[in-house]
Structure 1
Amino acid sequence: MGANVQVCWEKAARYMEIEARYVNCDEEHLFLNPEKAIELVDENTIGVCAILGSTYTGHYEDVKKMNDLLEKLEKETGLFVPIHVDAASGGFVAPFVAPDLEWDFRLPKVVSINVSGHKYGLCYAGIGWAVWRSHDDLPEDLVFHINYLGSDQASFTLNFSKGAAPVISQYYNLIRFGYDGYRNIMENLYANTEYLAKQLVETGWFKLLSSLDPALGLPVIAFQLVNDRPHHFNETDVSHVIRERGWIIPAYTMAPNMGHMHLLRVVLREDFSRNRCDLLVADLKATVEYLAKQDKTHMEVHRASRGKWQTLFDKLPKHKVAAKEEVASGKVC
């Protein structure tokens, strides 16, 4: 799996004592690179995890490419390695706006898929789904049969008693919206995402890291400050200041081996209107202009202070030159 996996995968690997083999990200691949992933596969590999909607940037990983490489590997070596698709976010998005994208059971190596109803399934937190290709892909010895409620019931969960409200809410949404309803919602989200992204870029302060193509990623905008204009503030500063205007925009670093890359992320949901896009852009622009003004003021004070010290140094006797150089270098003050 890519080093950009959600922390739940790291937890599962550690708790179940599974050796996790991470494919490191780089500047050109901010998510799983199938060519690098296939190099880590051997006779001990129990599966490959492909993400349909990376937490960091919203990108879809290339499940089709991974499937083709694993099929080729099986023909050459006889190794059977299946794919699990973590479609926590994209599972309720891609089918409605990119129906031709192959990432699901159309690919023979995909044996299981998970999706979260509380994301783009439009439910409250607490509901998620797992689907297997067939009964053969879910070993019977992992399923418990109980009759506490008066009849045989198959149980494949880590807990037993749990409220049914999230399940009912998902059932309600599926009936209420249907395929056309979900498609309309997702198409509207992408329209607003493209509009917001364009406005952010036009401020001149930001550049995009995510994709606006519905076949390549979620209606998510991952962006960072441009490097071609001088400034001494970063994405974390932007996140802190814009909170004063009521927005909570996370600032974070990329996958572990790319901790030098900072970015901000905006996730668009059903209620994120065009008007809200305009408000967010206006507040972001005001935020960076405020930080730029503070930055400029700080640098002017710094230059004035250095000028005073330089004047003082120039008046020092020649035998104090060494001391002058030490102070100038910052060794002493």
Structure 2
Amino acid sequence: MALHKVTRGEATLHDDAYTTPLSERPLPKYRLPDSPADPRAVYDLVSSELLLDGNAAQNLATFCTTWSDEETHRLMDLCLGKNMIDKDEYPQTAAIESRCVHMLADLWNSPEGAGTMGCSTTGSSEAAMLGGLALKWRWRRRRQEDGKPTDRPNLVCGPVQVCWEKFARYFDVELRQVPLERDATGLRPHQLRDYVDENTIGVVAILGVTYTCDFEPVADLAEELDAIHAETGLDVPIHVDAASGGFVAPFVQPDLLWDFRLERVASINTSGHKYGLAPLGVGWVVWRSADLLPKDLIFDVSYLGGEMPTFALNFSRPGGEIVAQYYTMLRLGREGYRRVQQACLDTARSLADQIAKMGPFELLYDGEGALPAVSYTLADPDPGFTLYDLSEQLRTRGWQVPSYPLPPDRQETVVQRVLIRHGIGRDEAALLAEDIRRCLDRLHRGGGAEPRPGFHH
């Protein structure tokens, strides 16, 4: 075929995505196409659809990593075909997973260090469920040994992420969510006595509350449970949901007691793809010591040519995120993580100062002492607009800033939350603050579109 000849219905080197037959109608949505298509055209058309998504860098609602360096992308490409479950076929990837587990155990001050147990997961939700299952299994074993019934387990927590509600429903556990007190940002120690009993499998402490971004006082919760144990004999362990804070506190608040230095902390989960700075999706769960992971939860399976223990909920999943996590740990080290998280905290505090000066807001969390974030509510309960209106206005500039009610007993209070992640610097924060001011002016004028000057010479 001559280079200048174009045959209708066939893609050639001279076609672009928007002159191919594939572009002449909406892309298939309900039926697989009959014939193959030019991969370049398919790529261009699908990537054009993806432009309708929000800009991930402006998504200030997500804790998840939205920026990765070139080396991370290259390592992920190398791992596209690696199935994490097949440790016999990919033993080095399995070894890298084990290294990450032991590094986290050391980071969180496990007394056993290299001898403890843990694993990677698809995210902190799966990791949290594994921690919850271990709590339930250990409680049930103790009850059986004492000849007591095991049909009414409960889990005590404050304002938790929905994964804990799923855990309770899926695994038949009563979730005792302690109401949020006025002026509190999470579970408080004095509330525990009214909720724990002989059927309590554990208490969940949150290092980075989803709603407010503050840390719950894990050490104080542990001290209260110690007192309850001394008075009543109830020995209730703690699982720390450090989905966000597990990669923040060790670097910027190394003296904060929240981890395995507290003997009552039995297990910790975290998200590598949040402030761990790894790409989506990888999480981690680590137990204080190997004996705290019940053997009943560990399966020795024959899979794709090998025998191996497994205790994750998922089976096949890619290994690239785990390799990327290991790369990030090696690249940054403790000092690198400290610099990144401190820079994010400084940016959050700068933004909090600007928001506080705007007038209509009352800060709930100012970025000091916990996650790099800001949360606030309206100081005037009826200023003529809602935070939902402000969220909608900010979307016109691409910003995704969530508004939502606080948990039960505080549901009348609607808050807004801004998360500062790696890749969001002072300039972006300043631009956001300018846009908030502009949106406030628009809302005070009645919420219409911002007036634009007419064209003239």
* Structures share fold, TM-score greater than 0.5: yes
- Secondary structure at the aligned position of 2:175 is classed as coil
Is the Cα–Cα contact under 8 Å of residues 2 and 24 in structure 1 kept in the other structure?
no
Q: In the TM superposition, what is the alpha-carbon distance from 1:135 to its structure 2 partner?
A: 1.4
Alignment of 1:143 with 2:306, yes or no, is: no
- Please list, as runs of the form range in 1=range in 2, the aligned pairs for 1:35-114 lying within 5 A after superposition: 35-114=190-269
Is the Cα–Cα contact under 8 Å of residues 349 and 368 in structure 2 kept in the other structure?
no
Alignment partners' CA distance in 2, 1:118 and 1:193: 20
Is the Cα–Cα contact under 8 Å of residues 348 and 366 in structure 2 kept in the other structure?
no
Alignment partners' CA distance in 1, 2:386 and 2:158: 24
Q: How many residues align?
A: 293
Q: In the TM superposition, what is the alpha-carbon distance from 1:295 to its structure 2 partner?
A: 6.7
Alignment partner, residue 22 of structure 1:
177
Alignment partner, residue 278 of structure 1:
430
- Please list, as runs of the form range in 1=range in 2, the aligned pairs for 1:1-333 lying within 5 A after superposition: 1-214=156-369, 217-227=370-380, 231-294=383-446
Alignment partner, residue 302 of structure 1:
none
**Residue identity opposite 2:234 in structure 1:** L
**Residue identity opposite 1:269 in structure 2:** R
Alignment partner, residue 455 of structure 2:
none
Is the Cα–Cα contact under 8 Å of residues 59 and 211 in structure 1 kept in the other structure?
no
After superposition, the C-alpha distances for 1:283-302 in whole angstroms (9 at most, x for unaligned) are 00000110001179xxxxxx
TM score, norm. by length of structure 1: 0.85
Q: In the TM superposition, what is the alpha-carbon distance from 1:34 to its structure 2 partner?
A: 1.5
In structure 1, runs of 5+ residues without a counterpart are: 297-333
Alignment partner, residue 305 of structure 1:
none
- Secondary structure at the aligned position of 2:204 is classed as strand
- Secondary structure at the aligned position of 2:396 is classed as helix
TM score, norm. by length of structure 2: 0.62
Q: In the TM superposition, what is the alpha-carbon distance from 1:175 to its structure 2 partner?
A: 0.6
In structure 2, runs of 5+ residues without a counterpart are: 1-155, 449-457
Q: In the TM superposition, what is the alpha-carbon distance from 1:3 to its structure 2 partner?
A: 4.1
**Residue identity opposite 1:242 in structure 2:** L
After superposition, the C-alpha distances for 1:41-67 in whole angstroms (9 at most, x for unaligned) are 111111000000000010100110111
Alignment partners' CA distance in 2, 1:10 and 1:211: 28
Alignment partners' CA distance in 2, 1:269 and 1:46: 34
Q: In the TM superposition, what is the alpha-carbon distance from 1:27 to its structure 2 partner?
A: 1.9
Alignment partners' CA distance in 1, 2:252 and 2:185: 23
The answer to which structure has the higher helix fraction is 1
> Sequence identity of aligned pairs in percent?
44
The root-mean-square deviation of aligned C-alpha atoms, in Å, is 1.5
**Residue identity opposite 1:275 in structure 2:** D
Is the Cα–Cα contact under 8 Å of residues 232 and 295 in structure 1 kept in the other structure?
no
**Residue identity opposite 2:245 in structure 1:** G
- Secondary structure at the aligned position of 1:54 is classed as coil
Q: In the TM superposition, what is the alpha-carbon distance from 1:38 to its structure 2 partner?
A: 2.8
Alignment partners' CA distance in 2, 1:190 and 1:231: 30
Is the Cα–Cα contact under 8 Å of residues 89 and 120 in structure 1 kept in the other structure?
yes
Q: In the TM superposition, what is the alpha-carbon distance from 1:259 to its structure 2 partner?
A: 1.3
Alignment partners' CA distance in 1, 2:311 and 2:386: 46
